[in-house]
């Protein structure tokens, strides 16, 4: 029997996150984490250390372990980039809560993201996608697919679900992008404050209107039901809306644009998909695994000692689960660096795992499926208008993606 290590772990390790060189491939340095222990000690930007989880099975086990906390205000919480430090100064959103508070808040949102709700909203998403393609074709080639298609699709959809006026879409795109891509805690805090102020005003407007909750969007429904009877605090509603606004468009936008780029770089896979569009749902799962848009799928801090194999996570130590790594674990996905749209990739962790698994995953899947299906059906000759290697890649620790994707047809 292997004994657990009782010696204090080293305070330093491999620097993390690692720089990217390709829009859709993992950082080259990730290769060093393969064939290693399930936990690897890494050093973060501020000199603190954390455990990096490298395998899928161990990651899934840990994210269902109640001894790991999602509370970002806890000592030892592993902020992987500087801008995230600003989270400590902001009221926590429900993804930064542990049970039972997290459970209560999450249940309030489940009806708005159910499979039934997604079926109902599919025609609306198809209408948005077709309208944006009409505009692209009218504008003429080349176009930036990020600006003209990938970003507007989820932005318009999430605004509709939340009950945000369409005329405010540009504001949310700009401020949420600033908050996500900020390089300092101050910049992230300022962008978050702009969004919080707006949402607060929108809540007040919903209170004054007193319309039918089911016709007011998610913010209106929660305002007139949960906020009105004291089940939800106003600040919690603001943070909930901010989370959904930001998460609802940035990650899905990147997934749409990078999926297009990746398929264009794998013409045999794209041709097979065009020949049999019924394979699109499975293709989306494989693209989610292959691209791992969020890269870091979970940051946690241990509240007690947790043994993992012959290693030991000590209470107070940070744990980082990187979906880019675990989604390419060859123990779970044979030949993991090969894109195979027929692969059963449903066990991927691009939406994280456990009680904090992404609430909007059904919406994200639907948006990507509709966007890809309609785009390649209507513009079958779509192709890149610039070499893949010339595209600017988002920095380490950011949502994986490209800032521009020039295409022609």
Dist. CA 88–CA 38, nearest whole Å = 29
Strand segments, DSSP code E, in 54-125 are: 68-69
Q: Say which residue the tokens 């010696």 belong to.
A: 7
**Is 76 within 8 Å of 323 (Cβ atoms)?**
no
| Number of helical H runs and strand E runs in the chain | 14, 11
Sheet of 406-408: strand order equals 143-144, 406-408, 383-384
291 SS3 class: helix
Q: In the chain, where are the structural domains located?
A: 14-408
Dist. CA 384–CA 24, nearest whole Å = 15
What is the b/e burial string over 9-27, where b = at least 16 CB atoms within 10 angstroms of the residue's CB?
Answer: beeebeebbbebeebbbbb
Residue 222 token pair: 């929660």
In order along its 409 residues, the chain shows pLDDT tens digits of: 333 433 344 445 788 998 888 888 888 888 888 888 999 999 998 899 999 999 999 999 999 999 999 998 899 999 988 767 656 666 667 788 898 988 998 999 998 898 899 999 999 999 999 999 999 999 999 999 999 999 889 988 988 898 887 788 778 667 766 766 566 767 777 887 888 899 999 999 888 887 777 778 899 999 999 998 999 999 889 988 888 877 777 889 999 999 999 999 999 999 999 999 999 999 999 999 999 988 888 999 999 999 999 999 999 999 999 999 999 999 999 999 999 999 999 999 999 999 999 999 999 999 999 999 999 999 999 999 999 989 988 877 778 888 899 999 9
Dist. CA 306–CA 67, nearest whole Å = 7
**Is 305 within 8 Å of 9 (Cβ atoms)?**
no
Which CATH superfamily groups domain 14-408? Cytochrome P450 (1.10.630.10)
Q: Is the pTM of this model over 0.85?
A: yes
Dist. CA 125–CA 9, nearest whole Å = 50
> Which ranges of 234-326 does DSSP label H, i.e. alpha helix?
234-247, 250-265, 267-275, 280-291, 323-326
Residues contacting residue 108 through CB under 8 Å, at least 6 positions apart: 222, 226, 231, 232, 240
**Is 314 within 8 Å of 237 (Cβ atoms)?**
no
What is the b/e burial string over 329-357, where b = at least 16 CB atoms within 10 angstroms of the residue's CB?
Answer: beebbeebeebbbebebebbbbbbbbebe
Q: Say which residue the tokens 């950082």 belong to.
A: 27
CA-closest candidate to residue 197, choices 175, 181, 165: 175
pLDDT of residue 5: 38
């Amino acid at each position: 029997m292997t004994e657990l290590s009782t010696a204090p772990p080293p305070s330093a390790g491999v620097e993390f996150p690692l720089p990217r060189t390709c829009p859709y491939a993992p950082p080259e340095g990730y290769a060093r984490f393969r064939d290693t222990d399930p936990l690897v000690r890494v050093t973060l930007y501020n000199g603190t250390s954390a455990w990096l989880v490298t395998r899928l099975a161990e990651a899934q086990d840990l994210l269902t372990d109640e001894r790991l906390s999602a509370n970002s205000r806890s000592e030892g919480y592993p902020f992987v980039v500087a801008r995230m430090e600003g989270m400590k100064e902001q009221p926590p959103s429900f993804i930064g809560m542990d049970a039972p508070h997290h459970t209560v808040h999450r249940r309030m949102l489940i009806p708005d993201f159910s499979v039934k709700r997604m079926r109902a909203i599919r025609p609306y998403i198809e209408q948005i996608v077709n309208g944006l393609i009409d505009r692209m074709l009218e504008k003429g080639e080349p176009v930036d697919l990020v600006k003209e298609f990938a970003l507007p699709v989820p932005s318009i959809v999430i605004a509709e679900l939340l009950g945000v006026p369409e005329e405010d879409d540009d504001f949310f795109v700009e401020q949420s992008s600033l908050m996500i891509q900020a390089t300092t805690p101050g910049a992230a805090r300022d962008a978050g404050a702009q969004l919080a102020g707006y949402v607060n005003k929108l809540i007040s407007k919903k209170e004054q209107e007193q319309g039918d909750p089911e016709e007011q969007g998610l913010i209106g429904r929660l305002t007139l039901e949960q906020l009105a009877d004291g089940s939800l605090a106003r600040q919690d509603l603001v943070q909930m809306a901010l989370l959904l606004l930001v998460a609802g468009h940035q990650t899905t936008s990147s997934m749409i644009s990078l999926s297009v780029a990746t398929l264009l770089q794998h013409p045999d896979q794209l041709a097979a998909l065009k020949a049999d569009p019924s394979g699109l749902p499975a293709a989306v799962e494989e693209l989610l695994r292959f691209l791992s848009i969020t890269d870091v799928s979970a940051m946690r801090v241990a509240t007690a000692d947790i043994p993992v194999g012959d290693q030991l996570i000590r209470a107070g130590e940070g744990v980082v689960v990187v979906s880019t790594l675990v989604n390419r674990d060859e123990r779970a996905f044979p030949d993991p660096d090969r894109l195979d749209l027929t692969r059963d990739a449903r066990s991927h962790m691009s939406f994280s795992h456990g009680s904090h698994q992404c609430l909007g995953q059904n919406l994200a899947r639907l948006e990507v499926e509709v966007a890809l299906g309609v785009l390649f059906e209507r513009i079958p000759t779509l192709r890149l208008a610039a070499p893949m290697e010339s595209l600017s890649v988002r920095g380490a620790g950011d949502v994986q993606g490209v800032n521009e994707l020039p295409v022609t047809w």
